[in-house]
Homo-oligomer: A and B are copies of this chain.
Amino acid sequence: MSEFTHFNKQGRANMVDISDKDESGRKAVVYSQVKMKETVWKAVQEGNMKKGDVLAVAQTAGIMAGKKTSDLIPMCHPLMLTKMDIHFEFPEEGLIGIYVTVKTKGSTGVEMEALTAASVTGLTIYDMCKAMDKSMELGPTYLIEKDGGKSGHYQRYSTIEP
């Protein structure tokens, strides 16, 4: 495909017509990450166990943001999400990996919902750690897997090491 789908005949953005698309089960899995100083990274993990749970707040914020996607992204259709799950990995020192899975039954995909949830999860981690580290980095954020709809199954084959 080599054309934008979001523009009308005047060349202006619109919300594309999905009235005649069939509803189907849809799923998207997204990855994002936050990179921080090792001391902060350790504090997040300890906080996770003892007291001051950064990740509990971040994950709540992420789920709430996923539900607001069509409020934030102008041409996104509103969708009734049927499942959202966020979990964390600590693949190497200084790195928090964020995995988001979203599902719906609907006429369009849910990658934007998963990407938005992942981004706001990261932003919240940043907010709660920023007094300790101003040099943190959010992302990269990308689609790992997508299922359902006309375009079928998508799986990222990537040499990127998150």
Contacts and interface: CB of A to CB of B under 8 A. Distances in A.
Interface of A: 1-19, 25, 32, 35, 39, 43, 47, 50-57, 59-61, 63-65, 67-68, 70-88, 103-107, 111-112, 115-116, 119-120, 123-124, 126-132, 134-143, 146, 154, 156, 160
Contacts of A116: 120, 123
Contact of A112 (B5, B127, B135): B127
Dominant SS among interface residues on chain A: mixed
Contact of A79 (B80, B103, B111): B80
Contacts of A70: 67
Contact of A19 (B5, B105, B112): B105
Given A128-B13, A131-B1, A7 B78 contact: no
